[in-house]
């Protein structure tokens, strides 16, 4: 079975929503034109993109790109779904304008991802079965509301949040219904101490979106030994694109192939574009993933 995928890119190579000073000088059209020139079929949404659906549709069409996914950060571990639903539903017109069918959900309560003074291992945690049960019920309720509107919720596991370690993902899957999908992120999993391939093998039936990102092991060791914050780790180059670090993407793509994965593969690397030029690194990641797909006999299908 050949992978039936589309190859997209995260805007994080050019600009960061979490650390907005990174890439602040880069105009959005520059990022989109470079992404398309490299060969990407789509790009995930950024807070710097137009928030008017018609303007977003026109911008993406101008550059020949589809929307790979939207993003929403909520606090369902602390708030009922009724309070989060309006914000999540407000994203749907943007997804429709770009042709996306996945909304990435990040749990923001207590997140330290943007806090330069807090070591990234001092993350928030959900304590006890009751907390996980409530969180899971709320996520499932939100996911059902989105599915009724044709959009799949993909929950993100991210360093610096309560969904970081492998056991967090395991508990999340146990606490939620099948309506809740997973966005597998290779570098976030590894930085959080998990093996992304093992996560995929355990929860492949939930994976509906994939971020392909890499790590530089020497920088990661420094980050842990020196108690860096997540922003410090990003600025000093802990993360990079596939093919520029140490992770083995060939085995992961082979596993996705066996599972019959259909969806987006999104190249991502949160870096300082002043140090790691966005176009060069986005192209390096694209070439590496494209070569690995070729070895599997797969060729990304054109965006719908």
- Give pLDDT tens digits for 8-44: 999 999 999 888 888 899 999 999 999 999 999 999 9
Residue 114 has pLDDT above 70, yes or no: yes
Q: How far is 132 from 103, CA to CA, in rounded Å?
A: 21
Residue 304 pLDDT more than 50? no
Higher pLDDT, 103 or 120: 103
The CA distances from residue 51 to 33, 83, 91, in Å, are: 19, 21, 9
pLDDT at 67 over 70: yes
Q: What is the pLDDT of residues 189-198, one digit of tens each?
A: 999 999 999 9
The better pLDDT of the pair 18, 76 is held by 76
To the nearest whole percent, how much of the chain has pLDDT over 70?
98
Q: Is the dihedral of CA 116, 117, 120, 126 positive or negative?
A: negative
pTM given for the model: 0.96
Residues 258/252/263/203 CA torsion (nearest 10 deg): 80
Q: What is the pLDDT of residue 112?
A: 93
Q: How far apart are CA 117 and CA 136, in angstroms?
A: 30
Mean per-residue pLDDT for 134-163?
97
Domains, the chain, ranges and CATH?
Answer: 4-295 (3.20.20.150)
> Average per-residue pLDDT in the chain?
95
**From residue 70, how far is each of 62, 98, 153, 270 by CA, in Å?**
19, 9, 10, 17
* pLDDT single digits (tens) 231-281: 999 999 999 999 999 999 999 999 999 999 999 999 999 899 999 999 999
Mean predicted confidence (pLDDT) in 195-224:
97
């Amino acid at each position: 079975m050949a992978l039936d995928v589309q190859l997209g890119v995260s805007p994080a190579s050019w600009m960061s929503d979490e650390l907005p000073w990174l890439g602040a000088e880069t105009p959005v059209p520059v990022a989109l034109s470079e992404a398309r020139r490299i060969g990407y079929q789509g790009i995930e949404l950024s807070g710097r993109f137009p928030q008017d659906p018609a303007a977003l549709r026109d911008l993406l069409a101008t550059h020949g790109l589809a929307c790979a996914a939207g993003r929403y950060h909520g606090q369902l571990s602390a708030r009922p779904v009724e309070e989060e639903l309006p914000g999540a539903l407000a994203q749907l017109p943007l997804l429709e304008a770009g042709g996306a069918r996945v909304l990435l959900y990040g749990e923001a309560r207590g997140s330290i991802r943007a806090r330069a003074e807090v070591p990234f291992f001092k993350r928030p945690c959900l304590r006890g079965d009751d907390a996980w049960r409530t969180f899971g019920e709320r996520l499932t309720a939100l996911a059902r509301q989105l599915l009724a509107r044709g959009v799949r919720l993909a929950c993100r596991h991210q360093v610096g949040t309560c969904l970081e370690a492998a056991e967090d993902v395991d508990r999340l899957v146990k606490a939620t219904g099948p309506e809740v999908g997973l966005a597998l992120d290779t570098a976030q999993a590894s930085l959080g101490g998990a093996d992304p391939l093992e996560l995929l093998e355990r929860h492949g039936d939930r994976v509906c979106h994939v971020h392909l990102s890499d790590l530089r092991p020497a920088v990661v060791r420094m980050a842990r030994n020196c108690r860096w914050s997540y922003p410090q780790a990003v600025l000093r180059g802990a993360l990079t694109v596939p093919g520029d670090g140490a992770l083995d993407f060939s085995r992961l793509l082979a596993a996705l192939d066996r599972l019959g994965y259909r969806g987006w593969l999104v190249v991502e690397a949160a870096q300082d574009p002043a140090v790691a030029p966005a176009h060069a690194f986005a192209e390096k990641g694209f070439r590496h993933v494209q070569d690995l797909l070729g070895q599997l006999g797969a060729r990304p299908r054109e965006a719908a």
